[in-house]
C-alpha cells in the first residue's frame, strides 16, 4: 500500500498492487479521517479478499462508512455483493444514473435501498470524520454518470478513469516521473473511451481553482506534484477524442 498522505488524523492510502494477472490493473483508494473511512472504487471480485485484509490493517472494517462508486463499470462495482457483507456499516455512494442497476448484483427480493445513497448529477460533499470530501461531477469522462473525489485536506483528487494509464506488463510504476514519457500510456484509452473535448472543458471549469497536489486515477500511475498536475490538466484538453 502507498500512504499518500498522513497527518495522523487524516490519511489517504492507495492500493496499486492487488489486481490479479490478466485483469485490467486497478487502483483502490481509502480516505480516512478521525477513524472513519471511505473506500473509493473497490474494484472487482479478484481483488476483494486481499483488499479486505489491507483495509483492516488501516482501520477496522466496521469503521468504513462509505463505499464510493465513481461509475458503473465492473472494475468498480464487480464485488458489490461481497462488500455489502464485509463492510457492514458502509453506505454505497453511487451516481444517480446508475443506482437503479445495483440490484442486479443481488438475488431477487434482497433489500438494499437502505445501503445505497444516490449522488445527484450536480455532486455535493459528504462528511468523513471531521473532514468534508467533495464529490465532483465528471460526466462523460468516461461514463455519462461519473464522479470524482476531491479531498481538501490532502489536496488529492481521485479522478476515476480520467488520467487512467494502462502500463505494459513489467513496466509498472507508482508515480509519474516524466509526464511527457507517460502520455503514451494514457492517450489510447482517453481517445477511445471519452467522447469529446466538450466534456473535458466542462470538467476543467469545475476544477479550476482547486489546489491539487496529486491526481490518483483508477488505473495506472499517480500524478504527483504541482508541475505534473498542471501538465496533466493542460494535456487533457489537447487529446483527440472519439467524436471530435
Separation between Cα atoms, residue 11 and residue 30, nearest integer Å? 8
The residue within the footprint of Fe ion, chosen from 27, 75, 77, 86 (CB under 5 A), is 75
Q: Which stretch binds Fe ion (CB under 5 A): 75-83, 85-93, 99-107, 183-191?
A: 75-83
* Cis-peptide into 51, omega within 30 deg: no
Q: Strands 147-151 and 2-6, how do they pair?
A: unpaired
151 binds Fe ion (CB under 5 A): no
199 binds Fe ion (CB under 5 A): no
Q: Which of 220, 224, 211, 216 is nearest to 187 (CA)?
A: 220
218 binds Fe ion (CB under 5 A): yes
Coil vs helix vs strand at 157 = strand
Using the minimum distance from each CB to Fe ion, give the nearer residue, 36 or 41. Answer: 41
User: What are the CA-CA distances from residue 107 to residues 102, 103, 112 (Å)?
Assistant: 11, 8, 11
Q: Strands 64-68 and 91-95, how do they pair?
A: parallel
Task: Kindly state the smallest distance separating residue 109's Cβ from Fe ion, in Å.
Answer: 29
33 binds Fe ion (CB under 5 A): no
Q: 135 is written with which cell numbers? A: 464529490
36 binds Fe ion (CB under 5 A): no
Using the minimum distance from each CB to Fe ion, give the nearer residue, 37 or 160. Answer: 160
Q: Which of 66, 39, 188 is nearest to 127 (CA)?
A: 66
Using the minimum distance from each CB to Fe ion, give the nearer residue, 36 or 161. Answer: 161
The residue within the footprint of Fe ion, chosen from 44, 73, 84, 98 (CB under 5 A), is 73
Using the minimum distance from each CB to Fe ion, give the nearer residue, 75 or 151. Answer: 75
Task: Kindly state the smallest distance separating residue 36's Cβ from Fe ion, in Å.
Answer: 25
| Number of neighbours of residue 45 by Cβ within 10 angstroms | 14
Task: Kindly state the smallest distance separating residue 153's Cβ from Fe ion, in Å.
Answer: 25
The residue within the footprint of Fe ion, chosen from 161, 182, 214, 217 (CB under 5 A), is 161
Q: Which of 150, 160, 143 is nearest to 72 (CA)?
A: 143
Which residue's CB atom is positioned nearest to Fe ion?
73
Contact positions vs Fe ion (CB under 5 A): 73, 75, 161, 218
Amino acid at each position: 500500500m502507498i500512504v499518500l498522505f498522513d497527518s495522523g488524523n487524516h490519511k489517504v492510502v492507495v492500493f496499486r498492487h492487488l489486481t490479479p494477472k490478466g485483469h485490467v490493473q486497478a487502483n483502490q483508494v481509502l480516505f480516512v479521517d478521525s477513524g472513519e473511512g471511505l473506500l473509493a472504487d473497490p474494484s472487482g471480485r479478484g481483488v476483494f479478499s486481499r483488499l479486505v485484509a489491507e483495509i483492516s490493517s488501516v482501520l477496522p472494517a466496521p469503521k468504513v462508512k462509505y463505499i464510493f462508486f465513481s461509475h458503473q463499470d465492473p472494475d468498480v462495482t464487480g464485488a458489490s455483493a461481497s462488500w455489502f457483507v464485509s463492510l457492514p456499516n458502509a453506505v454505497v455512494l453511487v451516481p444517480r444514473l446508475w443506482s437503479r442497476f445495483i440490484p442486479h448484483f443481488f438475488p431477487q427480493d434482497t433489500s438494499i435501498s437502505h445501503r445505497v445513497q444516490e449522488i445527484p448529477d450536480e455532486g455535493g460533499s459528504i462528511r468523513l470524520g471531521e473532514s468534508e470530501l467533495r464529490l465532483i461531477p465528471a460526466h462523460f469522462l468516461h461514463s455519462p454518470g461519473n464522479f470524482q473525489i476531491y479531498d481538501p485536506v490532502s489536496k488529492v483528487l481521485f479522478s476515476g478513469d480520467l488520467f487512467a494509464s494502462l502500463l505494459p506488463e513489467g513496466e509498472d510504476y507508482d508515480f509519474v516521473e516524466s509526464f511527457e514519457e507517460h502520455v503514451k500510456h494514457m492517450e489510447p484509452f482517453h481517445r477511445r473511451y471519452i467522447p469529446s473535448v466538450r466534456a473535458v472543458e466542462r470538467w476543467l471549469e469545475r476544477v479550476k481553482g482547486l489546489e491539487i497536489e496529486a491526481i490518483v486515477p483508477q488505473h495506472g500511475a499517480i500524478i504527483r506534484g504541482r508541475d505534473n498536475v498542471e501538465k496533466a490538466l493542460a494535456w487533457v484538453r489537447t487529446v483527440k477524442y472519439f467524436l471530435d
